[in-house]
Amino acid sequence: MKIGLVGFAGSGKTTVFNTLTGLNVPVGFGGELHLGTVKVPDRRIDTLTGIFKPKKTIYAEIVFSDIPGEHGAEKTGLSHKALQQIRDQDVLCLVLRAFPNPALDAAPNPDADLEAFQTECLLADLGMVERRLDRAKKDKPDPAELVAFELMKATLEQELPLRSLTAQTLDRGRLSGYGFLTDRPLMVVVNRSEDEAALPLPEAMAKRLAATHSAGMVLSASVEAEIAKMDPADQAAFLEDLGLKESALARFIHTAYGLLDLISFFTVGPDEVRAWPVRRGSNARQAAGRIHTDLERGFIRSEVMPYEVFMKYGSEQALRDAGKLQIEGKDYVVADGDILNIRFNV
Ligand SMILES: Nc1nc2c(ncn2[C@@H]2O[C@H](COP(=O)(O)OP(=O)(O)OP(=O)(O)O)[C@@H](O)[C@H]2O)c(=O)[nH]1
Ligand SMILES: [Mg+2]
């Protein structure tokens, strides 16, 4: 999964990037795009690795891009180049400045910055939709596509993001080439001073985010970046001093998985223990398709061991002997923590 950190100049994107990745790229204004890969921590995978002692353990991964803001321009910070870099991401993470930055004149105003960002994305999408509709007057438009674009235009004109349109109302099959910004999942990180790190998201912002199908969290990037670089054994005490229970990365992952409605299933064996993120509600056949298209095409059935049940019995054999190994068909809805063994034939 690719998550792009975006936001206005000096909002703390690079500092947030360091917090989440544990890297140490130089902060300061501008600079270039940074990439950092993070393994999604999962204790269940650690435990399964201990049991199966596989050659490889593969955690789910997030690739973060730190997309630099534009300096010198007016208030808005999204250059043409930044917009291109944003379109390449699966998820947008908007970093909002809520700390006083001595290098900037303006006092922090995260609500105004959120609104400005959302407006900028709406206008960029509306521009694209209108250009397509203009062109459609000349060439012979596909009627279904025209309906979709009219619907998108009406939605954007009501200041609603495209992501508020359900799959039933908008057929996205033919739209993937466009890279609409307001169709991307949006997550917001409010970057605060250290003394406010543990205060919840303000209610007004929480409401605004819910209304635009987005999610938010709070962190204090400069101090949490320091904590992220420490020995894991020392981190808990420093987090507790800030009034926090979990690292910024752990909180970020909960928020992102919640926003995207992701769960994890596992595959196990002597070669590999692996976590696979899928949308909640995915069926066994779709889950098989995450692993390989052959498994989806040739799907016969899936053996399912829920993690907790597996841990209770301790081994697949014990589960079989107790008659607890579930045999499920293609329509079985995969649950978080299911260990799957897909039987297939191609
Ligand atoms: N007090 C405080 N300062 C912060 C925090 N986060 C970032 N800063 C400081 O704000 C300045 C800008 O931070 P960056 O992370 O470079 O901001 P950026 O968004 O990457 O900036 P550009 O890439 O130039 O758009 C740096 O001096 C940081 O040390 C924070 O949570 N609290
Ligand atoms: Mg930066």
Cα(341)–Cα(287) distance, rounded to whole angstroms? 11
Cβ 99 under 6 angstroms from ligand 1: yes
Nearest to 110 by CA among 96, 99, 93, 100: 96
Do 7 and 102 reside in the same domain of the chain? yes
CATH for 336: 3.10.20.30
306 pLDDT more than 60: yes
Cβ 155 under 6 angstroms from ligand 1: no
The model's pLDDT over 130-169, given as tens digits with 9 standing for 90+, comes to 999 998 888 877 888 889 999 999 999 999 999 999 999 9
Pairing of strands 262-267, 326-328: unpaired
Do 244 and 96 reside in the same domain of the chain? yes
Residue 267 domain flag: no
CATH for 66: 3.40.50.300
pTM to 2 decimals?
A: 0.91
Ligand lying closest to the C-alpha of residue 27: 1
Do 192 and 248 reside in the same domain of the chain? yes
Is residue 152 within 8 Å of residue 129, measured between CB atoms? yes
Do 188 and 101 reside in the same domain of the chain? yes
Cβ 18 under 6 angstroms from ligand 1: no
Pairing of strands 186-192, 215-219: parallel
Do 190 and 172 reside in the same domain of the chain? no
Q: Which of 137, 161, 182 is the last residue of a domain?
A: 182
The CA radius of gyration of the chain, in Å to the nearest whole number, is 23
**Domains of the chain: total:** 3
Do 174 and 215 reside in the same domain of the chain? no
Structural domain containing residue 10: 2-41+57-106+184-260
Cα(320)–Cα(337) distance, rounded to whole angstroms? 18
The model's pLDDT over 233-284, given as tens digits with 9 standing for 90+, comes to 899 999 999 999 999 999 999 999 999 999 999 999 999 999 999 999 999 9
The residue ranges of DSSP E strands in 116-213, in sequence order, are 186-192
CA-CA-CA-CA dihedral for 17, 85, 81, 130, to nearest 10: -130
Residue 270 domain flag: no
Do 81 and 218 reside in the same domain of the chain? yes
